[in-house]
Structure 1
Amino acid sequence: MATVYTTPPQRDSWFAPLSIDLIVKVLRTSFFHPFIAWIIPLCFRAQNMFWDAPPMLVSIAWASFISLCWILGTFNQRLAYGLPREVDLSEEVIVITGGASGLGLLIAEVYGMRGATVAVLDIQDMDHLEARGVTYYKCDVSDKAQVLRVAGEIERDLGTPTVLINNAAIVPGKRLLDMTLSEIDTSLSTNLLSHFYTLHTFLPALARSPVGGTIVTISSVIGQTGAAQLTDYAAAKAGVTALHKSLAAELKVSHPQLRTVLVTPGQLSTPLFYGVQTPNAFLAPVVEPVDVAKAIIAAVDGGRNEAIAMPLYARWIEWYNVLPIGLQAVARRIAGVDVGMRTFVGRQGVAAAAARAQNGEKEGLIQAF
C-alpha cells in the first residue's frame, strides 16, 4: 500500500485556554463570593485578632459589600423575571428545531437521557434515535405548512408541547452581492420567519398546558454588532431578539404562566461557523456548545425567565452602541469582527471536504492495489 505522510498537528501554547471569562469565573467563585469573603474575618478572629483591628474591619466591610451585591443581584433577577414555574420532566414535552446537530442535538440528547419526551424538528436526517431517546420529525421549519403538519403529529404521538426551543439556523457566509435572491429568501425564512411559524403554531398548545411552558429563543451577538459577510444572518438575529422581547412583554400580560429564555451567544464552535477566525481568543473566546446547553437546560429545569449571554463581552455588547461612532470603528478594527468570515467554511464546506477526503481515500486505495 502507498505510504501516507501527514504533518504533525500544531500545539497550542500553554496559555491558549486562558481568557477573561475564565478569570472572571475564578474570581466569582473565590474573591467575589460571599462565603469566601466571610472566611477572611473568621480566620482573623481565629488568630485572636480584635474586632476593631483595621484588617478585621476592612475584611468585614468587604464581606458585607459582596453579600449585599449578591442579595441585590438576586432581587434584581426576581424583579425582572418573576417567580419560576414548577417543572417535572416526566410531564414535559420538549420541541427542538434544528436538533439534529450542534447545540440542538446536545440539548436533545441530555433531555432524552433524562427521560423527558423530546421531539426534534430538522431537515437533516438523524441517526440512532433509540440511543438518543428522542423522536425525530423531518421538517423544514421555513415551510409553514410542514410546521403545522408536524405540530399535529407531535401532539398526537407525544402529547401537548410544553417547551419550545427555536434553534434552527443556517449561515450562507456570503457577501450580499454574492448572494442570489433565492439564498436571501432561504436565509431569512430559516433564521427569522421560522420563529414566527413555530411560535404561532405551538404557542396555543403551550398556553393551554396545565404545567405552563417555556419558550427558548437562540439569537446571536451578531444581531447587535453586525459583521461583513453576515448581512442576512445579522438582520435575522436582530429581528429574532426584537421578536423575543416583544413576545415576552405580550405573554407577561396574556399568559403569565409561560416563561421565556433569550440566548445570545458569541461565536460557537459548531459546524455552522466552521472555519471562522476568532478575533481575540482572550477577550472574545469561542463558546463551547456544551456550556450554552448547560445554561439553557438549567433555565428550563428551573422554570425561569432568563436572558443568557456568553462569553462575557456578550453581556455588555449593548454598550457598544453607546460609544461614539469613531470609537465604534476603532473597536471593530481591533476586534477584527469584519474579517473573521474570510476563512469561513461552514457546514456545507465541512461536508464537501469530507466527501473529497473520502473520494481521495478510495482513489488512493485503488492506486495502491
Structure 2
Amino acid sequence: MSQPGQAPQLRQKDPWYAPISVDMILKVLNITLLHPFVAWIIPLCFRAEHQAWDTPPMLVSIAWATLVTLAYVANIVSHKLAYGMHREVDLSEEVIVVTGGASGLGLLIAEVYGMRGATVAVLDVADRLENTEARGITYYKCDVGDKKRVQEVAAEIERDLGTPTILINNAAQVIGKRLLDMSIEEAERSLRTNLLAHFYTIKTFLPGMLQSQTGGTIVTVSSVLGTLGAAQLTDYTAAKAGVAALHKSLAAELRASAPEVKMVLVTPGQLGTPLFEGVDQPHSFLAPVVEPVDVAREVIKAVDLGISDHIGMPLYARWIDWYNVLPVGLQRLVRDFSGIDRGMRTWVGRSGGAEKKGEKPI
C-alpha cells in the first residue's frame, strides 16, 4: 500500500513471455507440423512449385508426412485397443452427477451440461452454488464422505431426476499440514472425502449404469501428486494414489463384464482453483498452472464421445510415471529443481488458511 502523499503503486504486469509454456508450444505443433493434414500440404506445395519427386526437399517432406500419419493412426489404434469402442451418449437421456460441484472445476462442468439441457445433479457440502445463476442444475447439500448421506441423496436424485448414468467424482479437500501437525480426525476426514467417497458414490450409482441400455461413464479426478507425493500433502497424495488405483482396478473389472461403462481418469498438475490458492508455482514453462476450463473441456469431450480415456494435464502429467524409472539421485534433483516440496509453504486454500492454523474453515 502506498504512503500518504505518494503515488499509488501500479500492479506489476507479467512479462510478455509468461503465458509461453511447453504445453502451448506442443499445442501449436499438434495443429501444424504434427498434424497429418498440414504435413501432407508441404509436399503438395513443393509439387506446385514443380519440384521433382526425387528431389531432397520432396523426399524429406513425404517421409515426414508419412511418419506423422503413421503416428496419428497408431495413436487411434492404441486408444481403441486400450479402451474399446465408444458408447452412444444422448444428453437428453443422461442424468449427470457431479460431486464437489459447488465451485471450481466441478461447477464448470456442471454449468456446461446444464446450459446444454442435460439433467445435472451437484453434490457438495457448501450451502449453495458459487454461481447462483447457474441454469439446469439441481443442487443437493451432501458430504460425500458420509456414506449414509450419499445413499439418501441418491434416492432423492432417483426420485427427482432419474437414474444417474454419468458420475463425475470431483470432490476434494486439502488439510495442508505436516503429518505430525495433523490430527487423526483431520486425516480421517480427508481420506473420507478424497478416497472413500469414490467407493461410496461408485457403489451407489454403478448398479444403475449397469442396468442402462447405453451404459454409463465414471470420471475420476485424481492428481499427478498421487504419483509424486509432496510435503504437507501426506493425506491428500495418499488418497489420490488410492483413487487412481481404484479407477484402474475397477476399469479392469468392467472391461470384461461391462464394457459399456466407460472410465475416464483425470490426473492434472496444479489446478488454478481456490483449493490450492497460494501454492507457489513450480515452473511456469515446464509445469504451468492448469486452468480449470481446460480440464473441463477435455473431460466434457471424453464424456460426450462416450469413450474411456486418461487425461493428463499439463504435458509432464502424461509422462510422470517415467519419473520413477530415473535413478534415485536424479529423482531428488528433479524434486529440488521443481520445488514441489516447497509449494505448500505459501498455501492458504479456499478457507484462507483457517485449517492450516487449526481453525474451523468457513
Sort the TM-score into its range (normalised by shorter chain): over 0.9
Cα separation, partners in 2 of 1:4 and 1:298, compared to 1, 3 Å = farther
Aligned to 2:234: 231
SS, match of residue 264 in structure 2: strand
**1:87 maps onto 2:89 in alignment:** yes
**1:40 maps onto 2:42 in alignment:** yes
**1:315 maps onto 2:318 in alignment:** yes
1:67 Cα deviation after fit:
0.6
The structure carrying a bigger helix percent of its residues is 1
**Where does 1:148-163 land on structure 2 (aligned, <5 Å)?**
148-163=151-166
1:53 Cα deviation after fit:
1.3
Aligned to 2:360: none
1:131 Cα deviation after fit:
3.8
Instruction: Return the alpha-carbon distance in structure 2 between the equivalents of residues 206 and 212 of structure 1.
Output: 5
User: Which of 264, 269, 273 is matched with 1:270 structurally?
Assistant: 273
SS, match of residue 263 in structure 2: strand
Cα separation, partners in 2 of 1:351 and 1:231, compared to 1, 3 Å = closer
User: Which of 208, 221, 224 is matched with 2:211 structurally?
Assistant: 208
Instruction: Return the alpha-carbon distance in structure 1 between the equivalents of residues 203 and 43 of structure 2.
Output: 56
Aligned to 1:365: none
Aligned to 2:140: 137
Cα separation, partners in 2 of 1:331 and 1:130, compared to 1, 3 Å = closer
Give per-residue Cα distances to partners, 1:134-180, cap 9 Å, x unaligned: 00001000000000000000011000100000000001111111111
Aligned to 2:359: none
Instruction: Return the alpha-carbon distance in structure 2 between the equivalents of residues 4 and 159 of structure 1.
Output: 63
- Give the partner amino acid of 2:90: D
- Give the partner amino acid of 1:211: T
1:129 Cα deviation after fit:
5.3
SS, match of residue 187 in structure 1: helix
What is the aligned residue count? 351
Aligned to 2:117: 115
Aligned to 2:54: 52
Identity of aligned residues (%): 66
Instruction: Return the alpha-carbon distance in structure 1 between the equivalents of residues 335 and 183 of structure 2.
Output: 27
SS, match of residue 350 in structure 2: helix
1:8 Cα deviation after fit:
2.2
Aligned to 2:191: 188
- Give the partner amino acid of 1:20: V
User: Which of 181, 194, 197 is matched with 1:178 structurally?
Assistant: 181
User: Which of 74, 77, 93 is matched with 2:79 structurally?
Assistant: 77
**1:326 maps onto 2:329 in alignment:** yes
SS, match of residue 91 in structure 1: coil
Aligned to 2:249: 246
**1:257 maps onto 2:241 in alignment:** no
Give per-residue Cα distances to partners, 1:204-244, cap 9 Å, x unaligned: 11111122100000000000000000000000000000000
Aligned to 1:67: 69
Normalising by structure 2, we get a TM-score of 0.94
| Partners of 2:347 and 2:353 within 8 A in 1 | no
User: Which of 336, 344, 355 is matched with 2:339 structurally?
Assistant: 336
Instruction: Return the alpha-carbon distance in structure 2 between the equivalents of residues 122 and 170 of structure 1.
Output: 11
- Give the partner amino acid of 1:265: P
| Partners of 1:268 and 1:289 within 8 A in 2 | yes
Instruction: Return the alpha-carbon distance in structure 1 between the equivalents of residues 55 and 191 of structure 2.
Output: 65
- Give the partner amino acid of 1:210: Q
| Partners of 2:84 and 2:259 within 8 A in 1 | no
SS, match of residue 219 in structure 2: strand
**Where does 1:283-298 land on structure 2 (aligned, <5 Å)?**
283-298=286-301
Structure 2 unaligned runs (5+)?
Answer: 356-362
**1:280 maps onto 2:283 in alignment:** yes
SS, match of residue 349 in structure 1: coil
Structure 1 unaligned runs (5+)?
Answer: 353-369
| Partners of 1:95 and 1:118 within 8 A in 2 | yes
| Partners of 2:171 and 2:193 within 8 A in 1 | yes
Mean CA deviation greater in 280-289 or 28-37:
28-37
- Give the partner amino acid of 1:214: T
Give per-residue Cα distances to partners, 1:22-51, cap 9 Å, x unaligned: 011111111111111111111111111111
Instruction: Return the alpha-carbon distance in structure 1 between the equivalents of residues 164 and 8 of structure 2.
Output: 50
Aligned to 1:361: none
User: Which of 18, 21, 26 is matched with 1:19 structurally?
Assistant: 21
Instruction: Return the alpha-carbon distance in structure 2 between the equivalents of residues 234 and 5 of structure 1.
Output: 46
Please identify runs of 4+ aligned residues in structure 1 that moved more than 6 A: 2-5
Mean CA deviation greater in 124-133 or 166-175:
124-133
| Partners of 1:129 and 1:135 within 8 A in 2 | no
Aligned to 1:165: 168
1:192 Cα deviation after fit:
0.4
- Give the partner amino acid of 1:112: G
Instruction: Return the alpha-carbon distance in structure 2 between the equivalents of residues 319 and 331 of structure 1.
Output: 12
1:5 Cα deviation after fit:
8.6
